Amino acid sequence: MGTIAWNGYRHLELYYAVSGSGSVLHTLNPRLHLDQVVWIADHAEDQVLFFDKTFLPLVEAVAERLATVRHFVLMVDRDQMPVEHKLPGLLCYEDLISGQDDEFMWPEFDENTASSLCYTSGTTGNPKGVLYSHRSTVLHTYASALPDALNLSARDAVLPVVPMFHVNAWGLPYSACMVGAKLVFPGPGLDGKSLYELFEAEGVTLSAGVPTVWQGLLTHVQGHQLRFSTMKRTVIGGSACPPAMMASFEDNYGVQVIHAWGMTELSPIGTVCMLKGHQLGLPVGERRAVQAKQGRAVFGIDMKIVDDHGEELPWDGRTAGELLVRGPWVVDQYLKGEHSPLVVTDGRGWFPTGDVATIDNDGFMNITDRSKDVIKSGGEWIGAIDLENIAMAHPAVAMAACIGARHPKWDERPLLVVVRTPGAEVTRDELIAFFEGRIAKWWTPDDVVFVDAIPLGATGKMLKTRLREQFQDHLLAQA
């Protein structure tokens, strides 16, 4: 059963009703290109499509091309049903529910039965389906609620900004219900003003989302000199949380940032950055350096870093290698995939994350780059994310992406692509000078190009593939 819906209570009902009755809940991402929506729905063999009214035009545009969908259900009350539309036999969600008994005998089935399905964001190639089971979801739910993970309880009011169509909103619809927390849904209102007002009106204590969303919220709160009266923690993941954002939340608003790492292939939570006891008294600079890491593996996830030959690398906080993971909620096979993505080292199957990371001797993993997105200069790694974080700390920089541009001598060199903060001025030379003393000199970007906007993918991540297409020869042209 497919859904194309915002974070809302009907979507939550479907999370439980569809999976609990033995069907598979497939949450489709409406931000994808229409061709991809069709490709994914066909690949998943969706038979029923539930959708919010916002997405009526989208569904109308693809309906005729959907090979397997037999029923379209609009998630509204009867009086909200459109008079005119292009969907034959369109059903009303509340009509379907009101015709049913309030009592339902939940069926019992094997814990390995499939419960839900998500597709990877697919910045390259066709998206891949990751099928979760009741077992993997329940185990992930327990682990994600632990004190050193998201630390959820019945005293929380949780507002997931991360969409329920992106890796099940990081599992919050399950974990919040498991602990008895209040759930607050933003619907389509994801701008800073709407979110802030909802936080205040509903007494939200914990929220979760990607850095881009928090940038909008912080801009609104700063611009109007507001305070959060109940918000205590926010989970930031999906891409690296810029340290400047973390500092702003904590120093200016008393909101604890919980930095987390995960992937669609991990349901998604893999690591969460919660300090250990001996780190609590660290000077603020040192503490922040730890908090900027992606954190420690939650119980259930094993991780290691390996070199190009699959040899395990030390946990010294310096040596970077490809991050491999294994555990009961780690994918071993994509939906209808012919080949398992797992690599076998030490006789076991490990999932190669495509992320490059260090792990320190306290077990804190730190993503330094993605293996397909890495900058290799003269045979040595340069962490694009570190360079972006520094650039983002400059007040005149609204957004920064660092890509590896081809270079006649070093093979690749870092090139910084920058969107200026509206109304602010900064030159190339000033930005280059900003890196001085903050990193090894040879890491300094060779050049800066200013753009109006950085292309974002459907889940809010920067599409560096596009930037590379556009700027990969920039340094060659200069040379």
Q: Which is nearer to ligand AMP, 192 or 460 (CB)?
A: 460
336 is catalytic: no
**Active site residue: 381, 421, 461, 465, which one?**
381
Quick check: 330 and 348 in contact, CB under 8 A?
Answer: no
We find the least distance from the C-beta atom of residue 288 to ligand AMP, in angstroms, to be 15
376 is catalytic: yes
- Residue of 141, 175, 173, 111 whose CA lies nearest to 299: 141
We find the least distance from the C-beta atom of residue 368 to ligand AMP, in angstroms, to be 9
**Tokens 């919050």 identify what position?**
172
Range list of H helices, 116-171: 134-145, 167-170
We find the least distance from the C-beta atom of residue 352 to ligand AMP, in angstroms, to be 10
DSSP code at position 244: H
Q: What is the rounded CA–CA span in Å between residue 23 and residue 396? A: 50
Degrees, nearest 5: CA angle 86-87-90: 135
We find the least distance from the C-beta atom of residue 287 to ligand AMP, in angstroms, to be 18
Q: Which is nearer to ligand AMP, 292 or 448 (CB)?
A: 292
- Which segments of 155-225 are extended strands (E)? 157-160, 182-183, 206-209
HSE-up (13 A, CA, CB side) for residue 388:
25
- Residue of 410, 392, 413 whose CA lies nearest to 401: 392
**Active site residue: 182, 193, 376, 461, which one?**
376
Q: What is the rounded CA–CA span in Å between residue 255 and residue 230? A: 9
Q: What is the rounded CA–CA span in Å between residue 169 and residue 407? A: 40
- Which residue lies nearest ligand AMP, judged by its C-beta? 264
Q: What is the rounded CA–CA span in Å between residue 245 and residue 249? A: 6
Q: Which is nearer to ligand AMP, 234 or 353 (CB)?
A: 353
We find the least distance from the C-beta atom of residue 271 to ligand AMP, in angstroms, to be 8
- Residue of 45, 190, 198 whose CA lies nearest to 129: 45
Cα 386 from chain centroid (whole Å)? 19
Tokens matching residue 357: 């990371």
Q: Which is nearer to ligand AMP, 194 or 239 (CB)?
A: 239
Sequence-ordered list of residues with C-beta below 8 angstroms from that of 62, at least 6 positions apart, any chain: 34, 37, 38, 41
Is there a cis peptide before residue 188, judged by omega within 30 degrees of 0? no
We find the least distance from the C-beta atom of residue 160 to ligand AMP, in angstroms, to be 14
We find the least distance from the C-beta atom of residue 233 to ligand AMP, in angstroms, to be 15
Interface residues with ligand AMP (CB under 6 A) are 120-121, 167, 237-240, 259-264, 268, 294, 353-355, 367, 370, 459
DSSP code at position 252: I
We find the least distance from the C-beta atom of residue 479 to ligand AMP, in angstroms, to be 31
Question: How many other β-carbons are positioned within 10 Å of the β-carbon of residue 325?
Answer: 24
381 is catalytic: yes
What are phi and psi for residue 346, nearest 5 degrees?
45, 30
202 is catalytic: no
Q: Which is nearer to ligand AMP, 187 or 354 (CB)?
A: 354
Tokens matching residue 393: 């700390």
| Helix or strand run (H / E) with residue 73 | strand 71-74
Quick check: 76 and 30 in contact, CB under 8 A?
Answer: no
Q: Which is nearer to ligand AMP, 121 or 133 (CB)?
A: 121
Show which residues are catalytic. 120, 265, 376, 381
